[in-house]
Amino acid sequence: MAIDSNLLQQQANDLSSKLWAIANDLRGGIDANEFRNYILGTIFYRYLSERTEMYMEEILKVSHQYGYKHFFYGSSKETTDKMVEVIKERYPGVSVAGVYNPPFRPLTEEEDKEVIQMITDAEPDFVWVGLGAPKQEIWMAEHQNKIPGLMVGVGAAFDYLAGNIQRAPDWMQKANLEWFYRLCQDPKRLFKRYFITNTSFIWNAVIRGK
C-alpha cells in the first residue's frame, strides 16, 4: 500500500476545519482511503513538528488498522532486535517489512545497491531512518526516488523504543527541553551538534539568509 508523500505533505500543511473534522470523526461514514490519508496528514502536522519519535509511534499505533508496512534503517542489530520486540508487544499486528543495520563506515556502491534492492523488495510504506543528524538527512537525500515508501529521519527513536535511552520527564518534553536532557546524558557526543553545528545552521540559514 504505497503512500503519496506529496499528498501527505500537502495534507500536513492543510489546517482547514475539514481536515480536523475528518481526523476526529471515526463514525462519520467517511471513505476509508480518504480518512486514512487525512488522519496521516493530521498526525504529521501535530507530531512531526514536535518530535519525530512521537510521530513514528503514532503511525505505529494505526498501522495494523490500515496495513502499513515498516522498514527500519540504522543503529545496531542489538538495538533493533530489542526495538522490534517492543514494537510487536506494544503494537500487535504491526508489519515489520525489514531491518538493516549499516556498518560504521560508508557503504560501497555495490552494498548500497543491495540495500536499495532489499528495501524495494520489502515494499514498505514507511522507511524509518535512525542514523542521527546530519547522517540520516544526507542518506535520505541521496536515496530520494530510489526506494519506495516515505522516508522519515527519527534520530534516537530506535534507542528510545529499545530502552537504551531514558526519555526526559514529561514537563521537560512539554517545555521542548528534551534536547537539554539528552545533552546532560551524553555531553561529549551532543555538544558539537547542539552548540556548533546548530549555531552554524542558524547563522547561515536564518541570519545570512542562505
More confident: 185 or 189: 185
Residues 106 and 133 in one domain: yes
pLDDT grade, residue 60 (50/70/90)? very high
Note the pLDDT of residue 52.
Answer: 65
C-alpha span between 101 and 177 (Å, rounded): 29
Comparing 61-70, 72-81, 158-167, which segment has the lowest mean pLDDT?
A: 158-167
Residues 58 and 160 in one domain: yes
Residues 148 and 188 in one domain: no
pLDDT grade, residue 129 (50/70/90)? very high
CATH of the domain at 130: 3.40.50.2300
pLDDT grade, residue 194 (50/70/90)? low
Residues 149 and 195 in one domain: no
| The model's pTM | 0.67
Residues 158 and 173 in one domain: no
Note the pLDDT of residue 169.
Answer: 79
User: Is residue 158 predicted with pLDDT exceeding 90?
Assistant: yes
Q: In terms of residue numbers, what domain contains 27?
A: 1-50
Segment 6-34, tens digit of pLDDT:
554 454 444 334 434 444 443 344 454 44
Comparing 63-72, 75-84, 119-128, 189-198, which segment has the lowest mean pLDDT?
A: 189-198
Cell 498526525 -> residue: 43
Residues 68 and 161 in one domain: yes
pLDDT mean over 116-140: 93
Count of domains forming the chain: 3
Note the pLDDT of residue 183.
Answer: 72
Residues 76 and 156 in one domain: yes
SS3 content of the chain, % helix, strand, coil (to 5): 60, 10, 30
Residues 185 and 114 in one domain: no
For residue 134, cis peptide bond before it (omega within 30 degrees of 0): yes
Residues 20 and 58 in one domain: no
Residues 159 and 116 in one domain: yes
Sequence-distant (6+) residues with CB within 8 A of 40 are: 3, 8, 11, 59
pLDDT mean over 28-56: 51
Residues 170 and 134 in one domain: no
Residues 158 and 129 in one domain: yes
Note the pLDDT of residue 205.
Answer: 52
pLDDT grade, residue 76 (50/70/90)? very high
